[in-house]
Chains A and B, each alone.
Chain A
């Protein structure tokens, strides 16, 4: 069989990217808005003041709209695994299946149980029980993210498994290693906290709209106060987890780090690029042209961020391909050709193993299995025909990373300004500032999307780092069928997004004076 056509690989990737990006439009508001509404309700329970209850119930309604529209949009991704990525799906089934199954059983049912008390239980259960249900719903929703991010982190750092050539599967040998992977833990907090920031920006933006309209002023100020404090704390935390991500990437995915920074030639005391332009004249990783031009560089910062040592060596794209430098673990980095040779050796060993299995020659099977195991860590390089195939899209990753970081800084500034202005009771005086708060709602979504572009495009061509590239992972389908489903998804998700925005806008226009219509019953207070 020959390698599959480029268009099939590209369309399969585009389809997955489309659905993942739409999914991430629905997801981040859930943990963010959830925590804010839970904080508001906690204040209500502590103080007994109705205005906090009103605020909590309003944001809970918006939370409910987002939750209902977004729920199960991630299942589409699982459909694609089985149809478009069948080699990948089978190859990793045991590893990927366990976290997803746990997500379904534990987190989903936890949410489903408590969410009904949260929405239907106002005035039906005690304040304490209702508050507990609210926090448990948010905990469940957050834990849902944990399991899918554990699965994603495993693709970035495949550990805790052993490849079984008899079943053609990676079989889990250490579940704890998978769920306690440093990449998984950091990724979980980074993604969830980005949702907290999104929720904070959303609450501040919508509240600013009320102040502009001179409506619900007290409610809006209270909401901004809580969201600005929560957003500030979240942004500080995301800087810490972002630092953690950079360190994880520098150890486990050095190519991603080099591409994020447009770094072609490695150096000790490498600077961090604050801003710059990817050199359009750079034609090859081997030429001597600069990777980034007109760059504003912060001396030694990249070395410090990545390795905690301002003079540490950071390899560039060329060095990673040519090898020969000393890695953080003290070993010498292999060149692309050496890794490719290892990958091909592993694939030949797999082929020989299957032949030995057919001949029922157990001694030969053991011998080929040993060769396979010894070379397995670079198994995927046997599918790459040139070093260029191991380099992700530099401009896309570079600009996504830098814009995300710039936006992160802007969010911190916005939260601090909002906090100060609310504290000084000056919010109503500056309409232009209120409009900026509104503008930051879509920018929050943009930052989340950019983060995922860095994480996922930055690890191309791998579906599983160093083990399985995209061209080996996809199913041999007709490209036209993938195009058709791409269009179907685009229509479905666009429809859902329009529905969500429409219902939310309608509800926001009604305002918090309208009692929570998701939950309110006609019954009198018990």
Chain B
């Protein structure tokens, strides 16, 4: 089957555009390095999702967050003692 003409034109458009970049090549390199650092290094090693790493279900997460919201209240006497 023959490749449609419009598809060829789109491919040529992008191929030529990328091929003839000069500043753009440097920028693309920076973008790729930046995204690698962000998603592969920072996200994986330093920014795990706190709740996802501890709990498997939404139910468990809801229970945990509820307990956090309740336990950090100043109604809890231990909190009053600590700050006052």
A3 touches B79 (CB 8 A): yes
Residues of A within 8 A of B21 (CB): 517-519
How many interface contacts (CB-CB < 8 Å) are there between A and B? 169
**Contact A347:B30 (CB < 8 A) given known A64-B23, A116-B17:** no
Cα distance, A347 to B70, chains bound together (Å)? 6
**In the complex, A484 has a CB within 8 A of chain B:** yes
Residue of A76, A86, A382, A472 with highest tally of chain B CB at under 10 A: A86
What is the interface of chain B mostly: helix, strand, loop, or mixed? Answer: helix
B24 touches A340 (CB 8 A): no
B35 touches A90 (CB 8 A): no
**In the complex, A166 has a CB within 8 A of chain B:** yes
Minimal beta-carbon separation of A112 from chain B (angstroms): 12
Q: Which of B24, B27, B37 contacts A69 (CB 8 A)?
A: B27
Cα distance, A331 to B61, chains bound together (Å)? 38
B65 touches A472 (CB 8 A): no
Which of A35-43, A77-85, A262-270 lies on the face that meets chain B?
A77-85
B27 touches A354 (CB 8 A): no
**Contact A168:B42 (CB < 8 A) given known A385-B84, A477-B50:** no
Closest B residue to A481 by beta carbon equals B46
Minimal beta-carbon separation of A467 from chain B (angstroms): 11
B75 touches A82 (CB 8 A): no
**In the complex, A240 has a CB within 8 A of chain B:** no
Residues of A within 8 A of B5 (CB): none
A354 touches B50 (CB 8 A): no
**In the complex, A523 has a CB within 8 A of chain B:** yes
Give 1 or 0 for each of A146-166: 1 = CB within 8 Å of chain B CB.
000000000000000000011
Cα distance, A492 to B30, chains bound together (Å)? 12
Residues of B within 8 A of A343 (CB): 73
Number of interface residues of B (CB under 8 A): 51
Cα distance, A471 to B18, chains bound together (Å)? 48
Residues of B within 8 A of A519 (CB): 17, 21, 24
Residues of A within 8 A of B61 (CB): 90, 168
Q: Which of A65, A83, A89 contacts B27 (CB 8 A)?
A: A65
A80 touches B65 (CB 8 A): no
A168 touches B47 (CB 8 A): no
Task: Tell me the chain B residues, 11-54 only, with Cβ under 8 Å from chain A.
Answer: 13-14, 16-24, 26-28, 30-31, 34-35, 37-38, 42-43, 46-52
A350 touches B30 (CB 8 A): no
**In the complex, A119 has a CB within 8 A of chain B:** yes
**In the complex, B69 has a CB within 8 A of chain A:** yes
Task: Tell me the chain A residues, 1-40 only, with Cβ under 8 Å from chain B.
Answer: 1-4
**In the complex, A463 has a CB within 8 A of chain B:** no
Minimal beta-carbon separation of A262 from chain B (angstroms): 26
B42 touches A522 (CB 8 A): no
Closest A residue to B58 by beta carbon equals A167
A86 touches B71 (CB 8 A): no
A517 touches B82 (CB 8 A): no
Residues of A within 8 A of B22 (CB): 517-518
A507 touches B65 (CB 8 A): no
Residues of B within 8 A of A65 (CB): 23, 27
Cα distance, A354 to B13, chains bound together (Å)? 60
Cα distance, A83 to B13, chains bound together (Å)? 41
Residues of A within 8 A of B50 (CB): 82-84, 86, 475, 477
Cα distance, A98 to B26, chains bound together (Å)? 34
Q: Which of B23, B34, B58, B72 contacts A503 (CB 8 A)?
A: B23
A residues apposed to B, CB below 8 Å: 1-4, 61, 64-65, 68-69, 71-72, 75-76, 79-80, 82-84, 86-87, 89-91, 116, 119-121, 124, 165-169, 340, 343-344, 347-348, 350-351, 354, 382-386, 471-472, 475-477, 481, 484-485, 488, 492, 496, 499, 503, 507, 517-523
- Excluding A168-B63, A347-B73, 17 further A-B contacts by CB distance (< 8 Å) are A1-B68, A3-B72, A72-B35, A79-B43, A80-B47, A82-B47, A83-B48, A83-B50, A87-B68, A90-B65, A124-B13, A344-B73, A347-B70, A481-B46, A499-B30, A507-B23, A518-B22
10 interchain residue pairs of minimum CB distance: A120-B17, A86-B50, A1-B71, A68-B27, A79-B47, A82-B49, A517-B22, A347-B73, A168-B65, A385-B83
Q: List 18 A-B contacts (CB under 8 A).
A: A1-B68, A1-B72, A1-B76, A64-B23, A72-B38, A86-B51, A168-B61, A168-B63, A347-B73, A351-B75, A383-B73, A472-B69, A488-B46, A492-B42, A503-B27, A518-B21, A521-B17, A522-B16
